[in-house]
């Protein structure tokens, strides 16, 4: 029994930093991920998500800091880590000109599984790919490719799954099915670390961490991250659409208003100081053509606010 099982943590990072020349991609990152949990990595492009994932699975060595992955040292025991980790990248990385069955059998052989054909057969059954065994990977839709890629990286029975924006470019129904599969795997004890841009996917994670410009800005359960933002949010509807566009322009940048964002036929107006926000919107509260409602901030409100703050700090 190795380290990860003894302290209940699949990942334990302390002050991990990675630089490329003068550019700091990840800056002093500390995080713990419990075994069997789905942990979401969020943040804008270039925020350090992929670099972190690559350090975790032994593909990149950190310049500073220390950590363990599945109880193994991320600096000294990368070979042991690589054998126990499944890594799924954004790009579909299987052979397009091989069939579903051939792809899975090939991967089973690469990993030295004792019965590659049987392993491929059981993966096909589990993935709901029965009847598509002889279909070429190139002919599969985005959602089925995703499912095949997930099957390929779980074939050797990893203990940790690293998913780098796994559902980019996949339709909502396929995304939902993919996530149902992820939850089923986590329920069996697999730890999943996933980077995503989608709020509905973030909400399906047990815990989330928000990275921007290499720094960890928030982490915890969705409810904890929302509570920790200390945002007050109002939703404003207007009698006619052009009224909202004008209102958005007027409110943006006013003292006390930290965020104005359109959501469908309404605006979300948020601030970190409730009293200052109240003062800023007071002149607009009496307008007959506007309908103001106090609301719980959404995860998206929190992320738009975090991103704005990170950009200010970065500049």
CA dist., res. 192 & res. 206, Å (int): 10
Q: What is the pLDDT of residues 125-174, one digit of tens each?
A: 988 889 999 999 999 888 888 889 998 989 989 999 999 888 877 888 88
Q: Does domain 230-296 have CATH number 3.30.70.920?
A: yes
DSSP calls for 208-233: EEEEETTEEEEEE-HHHHHHHTT-EE
Mean pLDDT for the stretch of residues 84-99: 84
Please tell me the number of Cα atoms within 13 Å of 226 on its side-chain side. 15
Does the pTM exceed 0.75?
Answer: yes
Q: Which of 105, 99, 18 has its CA nearest to residue 55?
A: 18
Query: What is the crossing angle of helices 116-126 and 142-154, to 10°?
Result: 130
Using the predicted structure, report yes or no on whether residue 21 has a pLDDT greater than 80.
Answer: yes
CA dist., res. 251 & res. 263, Å (int): 15
Confidence band for 92, pLDDT divided at 50, 70 and 90: low
Confidence band for 312, pLDDT divided at 50, 70 and 90: low
């Amino acid at each position: 029994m190795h380290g990860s099982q003894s302290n209940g943590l699949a990942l334990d990072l302390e002050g991990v930093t990675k630089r490329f020349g003068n550019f700091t991609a990840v800056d002093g990152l500390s995080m713990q991920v419990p075994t069997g949990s789905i942990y979401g990595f969020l943040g804008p492009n270039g925020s350090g998500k992929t670099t972190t994932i690559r350090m975790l699975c032994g593909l990149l060595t950190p310049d500073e800091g220390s950590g363990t992955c599945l109880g193994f040292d991320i600096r000294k025991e990368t070979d042991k880590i690589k054998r126990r980790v499944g890594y799924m990248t954004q790009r579909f990385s299987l052979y397009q000109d091989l069939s579903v069955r051939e792809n899975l059998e090939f991967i089973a052989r690469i990993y030295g599984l004792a019965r590659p054909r049987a392993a491929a057969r059981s993966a096909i059954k589990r993935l709901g790919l029965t009847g598509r065994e002889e279909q070429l990977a190139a002919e599969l839709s985005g959602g089925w490719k995703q499912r095949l890629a997930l099957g390929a990286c779980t074939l050797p029975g990893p203990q940790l799954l690293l998913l780098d924006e796994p559902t980019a470019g996949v339709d909502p129904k396929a995304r939902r099915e993919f996530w149902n599969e992820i939850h089923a795997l986590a329920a069996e004890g697999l730890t999943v670390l996933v980077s995503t841009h989608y709020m509905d996917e973030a909400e399906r994670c047990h815990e989330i961490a928000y990275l921007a410009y290499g720094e960890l800005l928030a982490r915890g359960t969705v409810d904890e991250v929302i509570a920790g933002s200390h945002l007050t949010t109002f939703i404003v509807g207007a009698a006619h659409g052009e009224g909202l566009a004008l209102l958005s322009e007027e409110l943006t940048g006013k003292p006390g208003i930290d965020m104005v964002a359109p959501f469908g036929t309404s605006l979300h107006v948020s601030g970190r100081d409730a009293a200052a926000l109240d003062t800023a919107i007071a002149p607009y509260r009496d307008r007959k053509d506007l309908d103001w409602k106090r609301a719980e901030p959404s995860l998206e409100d929190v992320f738009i606010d975090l991103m704005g703050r990170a950009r200010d700090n970065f500049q």
